[in-house]
Structure 1
Amino acid sequence: MSIASEITRLQGVKSDILQAISDKGVEVPSGSKLDDCPDLIASISGGGGGGGVPYLKNIMPTTGVKVVDESGYIGGDFLGVYYPSTNYYNNFAVVIPGADYSASGLGSVTFVDTTTTIGGRVYRTVTIGGVTWLAENLDYKFSGCGIGGGGTPTTPNAWYYNNDEATYGIDGVRKCGLLYNWYAVKLLNDNRSDLIPGWHVPTNDEWTALANAVGGTGVAGTRLKAANVDWATSWGGTDDYGFGVLPAGYYDGSFSLVGSYAYFWTITESGDSAYLRYFGTGATMFQNTYSKYHGFSVRLVKDS
C-alpha cells in the first residue's frame, strides 16, 4: 500500500479516530502501516473501498486530528504540499503513531494530543505556529465570577448569550460558551495556577503571532473562523487550522451581533480599557480596545 493510500481521503466516519481506537481497544504496534492493522481499519471505517482499502471517511470537523513530525505541525487540511498531484484538499491525514514516512516527506509522525481538561470540562485544542490554543470558547464557572444578571458590573461576571445556556453554552446547540467581562478575565489569569494550571489568557502580542502564523490579519479571519455555521449570517470561514471561531456576539448591558461577529479578550490593558481581537463576516482579524465591562468570548493559550 502506498503512502498516498495510507493518507486516505476521509469521507464519512462520524466519530473521532482516536476515540474509535480507544472504544474498540485496538492496539497499534509502533511502526505499523495501515495494511498491517486490519482491526484498526475495521474499527474506524464503515466498509471497504476499491481493492479492499477502506475509505476512512470524514472525521467530524470539530475533532481536529492532525499529524506532526519532529519539526512540528505539518499535516491537516491541505496535503498538496506533499502530494501535489492528489486531491487531498480539506481532508485530514491518518497515520499510525511512530510510523516512519521519511521517504515520502512526512518523517516519523504521531498524533497530536488534541484535548485538555479545564474545570472538569474537556476542550479541543489546536497547535498553530508551535503554540497550543483552546479550539473552543471557554465555558468555565469559576469561584468569584458571577453568572448572568443585568447591568454592566465592574466585578467579575459572565453571561450566556440571551442568558440561554441550553442554546449558547458549549454543551448547547450553538456551542458559544460564556461571554466574560474583563474583570472576570483578570481574576482567571491572576489565579491561573489554581484555576487553569498550564494555561493563561493570551496577550495582544500572542494574538498577533497567531494571525501571522496563518498568513496575517488580512486573511486570519477567513482561515480561523468555523466553516459551515448554518445559523450565522455570511460567516465565510474555512477553518483551515481547526481553530473554529464562532460568531458568539457580545454583551454590554444587552446582547448583540450573535451570528455575525466574534470578540475575544486579551489580558493586555490600555488604560481603563483592554485590547481585544474580533472577527466579522469578512477575511480580516481586527484589533481594538473596549471598556472592561463588555462581555466577550475567551480562548486560552498553553504555557510555553
Structure 2
Amino acid sequence: MNKFAFYVSVCIGFFLVSCGDDSSSVTIPSGEVSLSTLLDSRDGQTYKTVAIGTQTWMAQNLNFETANSYCYDDDPFNCIKYGRYYTWAAAMDSVGMWTANGKDCGYGKTCSPTLPVRGVCPEGWHLPTFGEWNVLFSAVGGQPTAGKMLKSTSGWNCSDNGRHVRISGNGTDDYSFSALPVGLDIVGCYAYFWSSDEGGSGHAYDVDLCYGNDYAEQGLSYKFYRIPVRCVKD
C-alpha cells in the first residue's frame, strides 16, 4: 500500500467508526472572533492572526526558514502559498537557537520539554500542545465538526495523482482559521499541524483534518515527517 492510499484509508476509516460525546464543550459564536496581524521580527514576515475564545492563533502556516524546513515540491512559491514544512526537531527548535525549552528533542530521542515550547515560532508565541488544540476544538463546537469549521473554503479537492478525483471536502472556515490541505507529500487531501507532545523516541503527536469528513483528530507521526506549524500566542 502506498503512502497516499494509507492516509486515505486511515482518514475514511476513522470517519466510519468514530463517535464521541462532546457535550462539555463551550462553543464560541463564529462572529465573536477578533482578527489581527503578527510581525515576525526575525525575517519581517507578517501573518494573519485570529482570537478564538481564550486563545489567539496564527491564521496562516508559519513560513520561517530554518534548518530542516522545506517547501512543498521544493518550490519556493509553495512556501509563500502554504507555509513551510518542518520536521518535529525543527518545529521544536531542538538546537536551542531561540530558547532551551525544546532543546535536544528530535528523532531517536526522548525528551522532557519545558512548556510552553517556543520552538520555531516568533517571540511571544509557541508550538501548541495537543491540550491547546483541544481547547480550540471545543471553542468551535467540538471535535466531530471542528474540521469543517477550521478548514479553508477552497482547495480541498483530493485526487490520487490525478487519476481518481474525489468529492470536494472544503470547509466553512467559520472562525477564519483557514486550514489549508497540506502536509507530508500531499496537497488537497489533509491538513497536518505539529504539536509539542512527544509520542516516544520516534514519534510526535500532530493534528489531522481530512477532506473526507468534518472531524478534527489526533495523529501520531514519525518525527522526521515534514509537517506545517501553526503557533499559538503565549
TM-score > 0.5, shorter chain as reference: yes
RMSD, aligned α-carbons: 2.3
What's the TM-score once normalised by structure 1's chain length?
A: 0.53
Q: Please tell me whether the aligned partners of residues 182 and 192 of structure 2 are also in contact (alpha carbons under 8 angstroms).
A: yes
Name the structure with the higher strand share.
2
Query: What's the offset of the Cα at 1:188?
Result: 7.0
Instruction: Return the letter of the residue paired with 1:116.
Output: L
Q: Please tell me whether the aligned partners of residues 35 and 51 of structure 2 are also in contact (alpha carbons under 8 angstroms).
A: no
CA separation of 1:213/1:75 partners in 2, compared to 1, >3 Å: closer, same or farther? closer
Instruction: Return the letter of the residue paired with 1:289.
Output: L
Query: What's the offset of the Cα at 1:242?
Result: 0.1
Q: Which has the higher contact order (CA 8 A, sep 6+)?
A: 2
Q: Which residue of the partner structure matches residue 229 of structure 2?
A: 298
C-alpha deviations, 1:120-147, integer Å up to 9, x for none? 10000001122000000000014xx1xx
Q: How does 1:61-80 map to 2 (within 5 A)?
A: 76=31
Q: How does 1:99-118 map to 2 (within 5 A)?
A: 112=34, 114-118=36-40
Distance 1:135 1:189 in 2: 26
Q: Secondary structure, in 3 states, of the residue corresponding to 1:123? A: strand
Query: What's the offset of the Cα at 1:113?
Result: 5.6
Instruction: Return the letter of the residue paired with 2:154.
Output: N
User: Does 2:142 match 1:216?
Assistant: yes
- Uncovered stretches (5+) of structure 1, i.e. residues with no partner: 1-72, 78-110, 146-156
Residue of 76, 82, 98 corresponding to 1:176: 82
Q: Please tell me whether the aligned partners of residues 157 and 170 of structure 2 are also in contact (alpha carbons under 8 angstroms).
A: no
Q: Secondary structure, in 3 states, of the residue corresponding to 2:192? A: strand
What's the TM-score once normalised by structure 2's chain length?
A: 0.68
User: Does 2:115 match 1:160?
Assistant: no
Q: Which has the larger radius of gyration?
A: 1
CA separation of 1:188/1:288 partners in 2, compared to 1, >3 Å: closer, same or farther? same
Q: Please tell me whether the aligned partners of residues 82 and 182 of structure 2 are also in contact (alpha carbons under 8 angstroms).
A: yes
- Uncovered stretches (5+) of structure 2, i.e. residues with no partner: 1-27, 100-117, 159-167
Number of equivalences: 174
Instruction: Return the letter of the residue paired with 1:242.
Output: S
CA separation of 1:123/1:188 partners in 2, compared to 1, >3 Å: closer, same or farther? farther
Distance 1:113 1:244 in 2: 12
Distance 2:174 2:197 in 1: 27
Query: What's the offset of the Cα at 1:195?
Result: 6.2
Q: Which runs of 4+ in 1 moved over 4 A?
A: 192-195
User: Does 2:190 match 1:266?
Assistant: no
Query: What's the offset of the Cα at 1:197?
Result: 1.1
